[in-house]
Structure 1
Amino acid sequence: MQKNYDFIQTEGEMQKFWKENNIYAFDRESRREVYSIDTPPPTVSGNLHIGHIFSYAQAEMIARFKRMQGYNVYYPFGFDDNGLPTERLVEREEGIMARDLPEGEFIKKCAATAGKYEKEFRDLWEGLGFSVDWSLQYETINPMVRRISQKSFIRLFKEGKAYMKEAPVLWCAGCRTSIAQAELDTLEKDTAFNFILFTVGEERLTVATTRPELLYGCVCLFVNPRDERYKKYLGKNAQVPLYGHSIPVLADEKVDQDKGTGVVMCATFGDSTDVEWYEKHKLPFRRVIEPEGTISETVPVIGGLQIMEARKLIIRQLADRSLLTGSQNISHTVAVHERCGREIEIIPSRQWYIDILSNRDELLKAADRINWYPAHMKNRYILWVENLKWDWCISRQRYFGVPIPVWYCKNCGEPVTAGEEQLPVNPAETAPERACSCGCKDFITESSVFDTWATSSLSPQINAKWGEKDDMSGRLLPMSMRTQAHEIIRTWAFYTIVKSLYHTGEIPWKDIMICGYVLAKKGEKISKSKNNSGLSPAQLIETHSADVIRYWAANARLGTDTFFASDELAIAKRFITKLWNATKFAASHLQDFEPGTEITLLPVDRWIIESCRQMVSEAVKQLDRYEIGLARHEIDEFFWKDFCDYYLEIVKERLYQPDKHGYQERRSAQTALYFSMLNILKSYALYVPHITEYLYQEFFRQREGCISVHRLCWEKVGSIDKETIGFGEKLKAIISDTRRYKSENSLSMKAGMEKVVIECDGFYKAMFEKTTEDIKACCNAREVQVLNRYT
């Protein structure tokens, strides 16, 4: 072995070795139990950052763990390249707007950009040593995935679970598309309550609103039925200031008596409460906001203006007419589009939906059939489902997406879907295979595309190639595990459960592993949009090594957020050096050792083997719960303390001086050293695959006969010899005491000692008597005396 570890050369060589030998390929012919992983296909919306490494690397370590537990691991990777994130990236990078280009030209730009970033993403994952079977790669815009996505919609439509309606919809005027409830974020914004005078007969009624630009759209005033101040107005009509139309004053329990003046203006539409009242009280509709975010030209005074311009003008007009009694600055929560941060509008529009509200109970029960790790993350899912207000809107008025496979009859307007044999289909380029049920053969094309979640929610079906010639649904579904971040429980996890229940009646996966964030500072996660990630992952790997980054990524409990700074990598670098030196030391003393030889082990050698087995057992318990960080802690504790700090120091002289200590005694140490070092490498192979593979190839491969350390299985640990473990703990305490004595007396650790006296229970006396020579050598003591504590 070379003197120092060269990660730059070695990591590339190991990755080439894995690829050339298909080390991580899923074996379709194997009868071994399959462990399948549903990995999040990253959205093509910009460069990856350390936060992605943190979560994706944790899941990749589970893939390695399960492979080394004997499973036939199905570990695919996909890219979520269709939809608004990719479009926004293209617009941002090229300084264009999609609506200003011919549709075909913009779609080509999206495809080219997606291809460029997907290559960068894959290069990064390969550079991190991800054990992905890249032959299973998919993209959410490719023909197979489009076919599966469109098939899903057609089947849901035929079953009555997908439907189209004209209704108020959440709308982003910036992106000019409908959105779903799950795509909302909330922000605290400073605004003002404007106190406006409405007329009720001869009296004035003051209404507080943050959206005076919607006055023309006001269709009702609401008060709480228990509010004594306003009972006399119920059943009467009010006149809307500036516009003069008459609206009723009605009662509703939802009105907060303590907010504003206790009188609420219902406009079509200011927020979701307006929609609720509109539908509950059968109110009329008055159009104000247009899809592009301007005021409708039909609205007097402010028609054609942008919303904020209209707000300022309407306030001036009200003030000039003494209809504005004042304003109050407030901070309130507003709903914004998670993709662009613009405040959401609600406008009527014809959209496609998937019914989820009527199946709320079934969706809640599904949570109990899935194992959530950490368990408390299930509560986020439950709260989301319990608070759903809208069915899932799946249509988007965008370009680079999976087309909705529908045409509309010119005669009767009924939707006609494509036949499954036509899929994938673009309705703009292909005609329906059949006439409408009314006999008409002329159709209008549906121009909308699916929301990207409508496709990525099918990732288990995509992985299983649902309905394709090589369909593996029976073998892969439900998948073993889904890994994802906690902020997309409401989207990816929820939507996947919806689709799986609707299509198969089963949960999509048995386990769900929820990872945390990497924080740039307290309360602020590292993200593409905030550009707060510092060095890029590629730069971090080039500077520090993939294994160092991976080791750092396994530093936290599952589901918890963590901070990142480059100086935190120093611990990982010290570990790499320690592992290199420990293995180099072990290999130097094992050149003449052949594993498998029967020998009677000395107590200290039995102890390190039992301690190693115990470490493996505890690590398995943690990894079975997806606690990568806690498992690494167990391995670290054994490697740094039991193995390096104590065992190697105890047996060092016995290994170096067989003439003094005996060749059988040296063979005993070699047996324990070989077992421990090999299992240390196997245990760390999850975390630092490159250096462990290199060390395995350099020494252990020729003795083990297996092509790769990553093809080996971990020890199957049964019962642990607790007495031997107890002996080891007492032995460590003795060594520690002698070290403390020397330190407190300002002596070198190599300084000699006249005598070490050991008092122990009778059970351990014989074990210590067989260990006196090792203790002498370790402590540099002339004499070791073992006394029975009770004599």
Structure 2
Amino acid sequence: MQREETATDKSDARYPWRCVPISHRVQEPTPTSLELRTVTKPDLPTQYAPAEVETRSYERWVAEGYFRADPASGREPYCIVLPPPNVTGSLHVGHALDHSIQDALIRRARMRGFETLWLPGTDHAGIATQNVVERELAKEGLTRHDLGREEFVRRVWQWKEEYGGRILSQMRKLGDSVDWSRERFTMDPGLSRAVQTIFKRLFDDGLIYRAERIINWCPRCLTALSDIEVEHSDDEGELVSIRYGDGDASIVVATTRAETMLGDTAVAVHPEDERYRHLVGTEVELPLTGRRIPIVADEHVDPEFGTGAVKVTPAHDPNDFEIGRRHSLPSITMMDERGVVTAPGPFEGLDRFAARAAVVAALREQGRIVAEKRPYIHAVGHCSRCKTVVEPRLSLQWFVKVEPLAKAAGDAVRDGRTRIHPPEMAKRYFDWVDNMHDWCISRQLWWGHRIPVWYGPNGEVVCVGPDEEPPPGYEQDPDVLDTWFSSGLWPFSTLGWPDTTTDLERFYPTTVLVTGYDILFFWVARMMMFGLYAMDGKPPFREVALHGMVRDQFGKKMSKSFGNVVDPLDWIERYGADATRFTLLRGANPGADVAISEDWAAGSRNFCNKIWNATRFALINGATVPDEPPAFADLTAADRWILGRLRSVITAVDEAYEDYEFAKLCDALYHFAWDEVCDWYVEIAKIQIAEGGERAERTRLVLGYVFDNLLRLLHPLVPFVTEELWRALTGKPSITIAPWPTTKGLQEDPEADAELAEFRHLVTEVRRFRSDQGLKPGQRVASRLDLTGTRLAVHEKAIRTLLRLDEPTDSFSATARLVVGSATVEIDTAGAIDVAAERRRLEKDLAAARKEAQQAAAKLGNEQFLAKAPENVIAKVRARAAQAEADIARLEAQLAALPAG
């Protein structure tokens, strides 16, 4: 994604600033040099009120068609398809981060002159949506079986139409500049047609098949689950070691699922394990059943783990299933789809967990329990929807043969057709696609894309395409497809595939996919496989930009149980959408987790307010926006310095965008806006404007030019406040279609930089000195300045204004003296401070600092604390100790410098 200046150069006609539909805009004459447009600038309220601005601005953007893509424009395309949130969902903090990044990218691309398409939509979310509607039915005392399939599906559609758009309205609150005219849903007729088309192609190519395999099964939802629908947690359980057989022919195995022994069909050991070599090929009696099972040798077994012998239950464990296939072992299903034991005997009819306890008790009674470890912490999979413990289960399902598809997906990244950011994440991608297992795509649900396979009365099997009809008398497969099957088509099905559409030709491959690294393996890999297969080797996106999970300020995962979950809608209501977005973006480094806190959101709101107040100052003082920066030769050092800094920041921001380094670009803009523009240049500009004349007019030009460009640089990150301010500053309709800033006409001035660095250093040191002397910020005092040998003589008036330093009088008597570089500042504090009161204040602060230093030293001297405390806690104590020592030194120096009395 190299920066293309020509993309902006060729799109001047897009920015005539008229409130007419984009397709009807015409080009205005370009003003020459510093010619200024005469505009009527609306007054800004004294305070920024997000709630009053955001809805109004967003509705106007949509009404004016600023977000709508025009495939016939001739401009270079830039396309993002929004990862479709579940139709059942609401905007959570992960969505807010994901959407803020995408919106920043698309807004910047729009300003750079690209033909942008950000395509929105939602996923039908099979299990989640079916569960929601089933819960609603339960309130009426009904099940889906009471309604029947057709009526139940009708009820789900009804629910979707009534409640399914909640997250889309919340996206508007965040400011998502998506093309609403192209909104899609994974079960729209067009997308359903795409699903049927690709299923049939894969089926006809022998890449879809039906077979018995071990799958993730939810006994509550009664369906297969994809890997991403299984959440793993470390749960307490028990590890029991069981002796199979007796005497020298016995062997001990360990398991956390004792009940599954009822379906064991072998015991396996490693072929080179000397301990068991004499037993390989023999049989041993399976306790509680009376069955005899073989002992087999298989290289899958780890001889170093446990006893080096494992029980083999092919129907209830994926590894055991593969061992069973290699050794032609029978598969015995010992429980049904609801997790109830079906094996004949005393445990039949028991729930799996009740059976576990009963089996262990029976084995203990027979003296076959060799060891028990309780509690035993181990990873357990849970259904992400209902939290039920997932059961590995042998089941007849539909699968995609992924090997050729996965190889193509790996090759596309290896040969550079698709680039992954950050690059180090590519290894994790390859680990997945190079070792991918066949994908179970069938779900035992009623809501979803029905599998387009029909069965004849004599066992015939027909796969039916979207424009075909099944033979008379055939019945359709009852299962539906995994939700990830249809969402895997999202980058091209949403653009009109399988038809050849203008959108598909213009916007595929899409420019970038922005998503969390946690679904790199599941969703990204599937889209890559399907895109390359369906689109003749063209990957679905040129770049994949991965971000991390949102965590709290301590780096802790957000969880309701921890009480640290952030609701972005709550933050939007309290701090505004811009502050919410900026807080998330300022922590977003490629591939890294994002830490946030409410204090940081409040800080982002303060930043927006700072920009608001500074722009108001510029407006009140007559700032005017030129089309080019004023001629540098006519400007003061401060003017040249801030324009040079603007050039550097534009370059830094552009470079950071290319690598998706949002934290870096936010930091650059934050410090430029707050520290350099607001805290320094605005203050200097006040003084220069007050002088009047040509200098004041040139300052107004510089002020207008800097704020115009600053607001445009900030717009992709904080769109609402910049829209309101930029319209007021320029009198133009919308910043959303303003051109992206460039460095044209700007230059860096090392001499001005050095001069302003000296100026800022002097002012900063004197301010600190005044504070140390107990002078209030606004308090005026007499002073003598000696600026001989410095470049600051021309700045004496500005220095005195900023530091509240009056000219010395005849009675001037210096009571304090400060040397900063080659400059000397003498101050007469006589009568300016209450020496006795100041001494008491400093002594009180000094006592507190000494106490803090003692407490920190005591902790750092405690070996137990150092051994047990987390490193970040120890680091904080060390920082407190260092700060306390610095405070002590500063306060002692201030006390020593006080006049006697």
Task: Say yes or no: TM over 0.5.
Answer: yes
Say which is worse superposed, 517-526 or 673-682, in terms of deviation: 517-526
User: Match for residue 691 of structure 1?
Assistant: 721
User: Match for residue 828 of structure 2?
Assistant: none
1:30 to 73, 82, 96: 73
Cα displacement (A) at 1:746: 3.8
263 and 94 in structure 1: CA distance in 2 versus 1, 3 angstrom threshold? same
User: Match for residue 876 of structure 2?
Assistant: none
Q: 1:413-464: per-residue Cα shift (whole Å, max 9, x none)?
A: 3421223324xxxxxxxx51xx5xxxxx542311111100001111111232
Cα displacement (A) at 1:531: 9.6
Cα displacement (A) at 1:475: 1.5
Cα displacement (A) at 1:60: 1.3
Q: 1:8-27: per-residue Cα shift (whole Å, max 9, x none)?
A: 22222212221221122212
314 and 743 in structure 1: CA distance in 2 versus 1, 3 angstrom threshold? closer
SS at match of 2:581: helix
> Contact 2:509/2:542 (CA < 8 Å) preserved in 1?
yes
Structure 2 residue identity aligned to 1:76: L
2:636 to 595, 598, 602: 602
> Contact 1:268/1:288 (CA < 8 Å) preserved in 2?
no
Cα displacement (A) at 1:523: 6.6
User: Match for residue 721 of structure 1?
Assistant: 748
- Mapped to 2, the partners of 1:168 and 1:54 lie a distance apart of 36
> Contact 1:172/1:345 (CA < 8 Å) preserved in 2?
yes
Residues matched between the structures, number = 756
Correspondences of 1:137-286 after superposition (within 5 Å):
137-199=183-245, 203-286=249-332
Correspondences of 1:118-133 after superposition (within 5 Å):
118-133=164-179
1:736 to 764, 784, 794: 764
User: Match for residue 110 of structure 2?
Assistant: 67
Cα displacement (A) at 1:550: 1.8
Cα displacement (A) at 1:496: 0.7
2:672 to 627, 638, 650: 638
- Mapped to 1, the partners of 2:198 and 2:756 lie a distance apart of 60
Cα displacement (A) at 1:664: 1.1
- Mapped to 1, the partners of 2:775 and 2:563 lie a distance apart of 50
1:649 and 2:683 correspond: yes
User: Match for residue 528 of structure 2?
Assistant: 497
Correspondences of 1:375-394 after superposition (within 5 Å):
375-388=423-436, 390-394=437-441
Q: 1:198-246: per-residue Cα shift (whole Å, max 9, x none)?
A: 2269743333333232233211111222322222211111121222222
Structure 1 residue identity aligned to 2:365: D
- Which segments of 5 or more consecutive residues in structure 1 lack a partner in the other structure? 423-430, 436-440
1:321 and 2:366 correspond: yes
2:129 to 86, 92, 95: 86
> Contact 1:401/1:452 (CA < 8 Å) preserved in 2?
yes
> Contact 1:223/1:230 (CA < 8 Å) preserved in 2?
yes
User: Match for residue 863 of structure 2?
Assistant: none
- Mapped to 2, the partners of 1:3 and 1:344 lie a distance apart of 58
- Mapped to 2, the partners of 1:596 and 1:731 lie a distance apart of 27
Identical-pair percentage: 27
Correspondences of 1:490-639 after superposition (within 5 Å):
490-504=521-535, 505-519=537-551, 525-526=557-558, 536-558=567-589, 559-590=591-622, 600-639=634-673
Structure 1 residue identity aligned to 2:431: L
Structure 2 residue identity aligned to 1:7: P
User: Match for residue 421 of structure 2?
Assistant: 373
> Contact 2:765/2:820 (CA < 8 Å) preserved in 1?
no
SS at match of 1:407: strand
Q: 1:715-745: per-residue Cα shift (whole Å, max 9, x none)?
A: 2226842524444333332333343343344
SS at match of 1:189: strand
Say which is worse superposed, 267-276 or 730-739, in terms of deviation: 730-739
> Contact 1:520/1:532 (CA < 8 Å) preserved in 2?
no
User: Match for residue 738 of structure 2?
Assistant: 712
User: Match for residue 438 of structure 1?
Assistant: none
Q: 1:125-176: per-residue Cα shift (whole Å, max 9, x none)?
A: 1112221111111111211111112212111112222222233333222221
User: Match for residue 426 of structure 1?
Assistant: none
1:15 and 2:58 correspond: yes
Cα displacement (A) at 1:35: 0.7
- Mapped to 2, the partners of 1:64 and 1:271 lie a distance apart of 49
- Mapped to 1, the partners of 2:820 and 2:265 lie a distance apart of 95
1:110 to 139, 150, 156: 156
Higher relative contact order (CA 8 A, sep 6+): 1
142 and 574 in structure 1: CA distance in 2 versus 1, 3 angstrom threshold? same
2:730 to 696, 700, 715: 700
Structure 1 residue identity aligned to 2:639: D
What RMSD over aligned residues (CA atoms) do the two structures have, in Å?
Answer: 2.9
> Contact 2:91/2:569 (CA < 8 Å) preserved in 1?
no
Structure 2 residue identity aligned to 1:568: W
687 and 641 in structure 1: CA distance in 2 versus 1, 3 angstrom threshold? same
- Mapped to 2, the partners of 1:195 and 1:780 lie a distance apart of 82
Structure 2 residue identity aligned to 1:317: A
Correspondences of 1:403-422 after superposition (within 5 Å):
403-411=450-458, 413-422=459-468
- Mapped to 1, the partners of 2:797 and 2:419 lie a distance apart of 52
> Contact 1:76/1:134 (CA < 8 Å) preserved in 2?
yes
> Contact 2:625/2:705 (CA < 8 Å) preserved in 1?
no
Question: What is the TM-score normalised by the length of structure 1?
Answer: 0.89
1:308 to 350, 353, 359: 353
522 and 609 in structure 1: CA distance in 2 versus 1, 3 angstrom threshold? closer
> Contact 2:71/2:502 (CA < 8 Å) preserved in 1?
no
Cα displacement (A) at 1:752: 4.8
Structure 2 residue identity aligned to 1:721: E
201 and 733 in structure 1: CA distance in 2 versus 1, 3 angstrom threshold? closer
> Contact 1:182/1:490 (CA < 8 Å) preserved in 2?
no
- Mapped to 2, the partners of 1:84 and 1:633 lie a distance apart of 41
Correspondences of 1:425-436 after superposition (within 5 Å):
431-432=469-470, 435=471
Cα displacement (A) at 1:489: 1.0
690 and 448 in structure 1: CA distance in 2 versus 1, 3 angstrom threshold? same
- Mapped to 2, the partners of 1:202 and 1:130 lie a distance apart of 71
Cα displacement (A) at 1:302: 1.9
- Mapped to 2, the partners of 1:270 and 1:210 lie a distance apart of 13
Cα displacement (A) at 1:530: 6.3
Cα displacement (A) at 1:490: 1.6
- Mapped to 2, the partners of 1:400 and 1:229 lie a distance apart of 53
User: Match for residue 427 of structure 1?
Assistant: none
Structure 1 residue identity aligned to 2:757: E
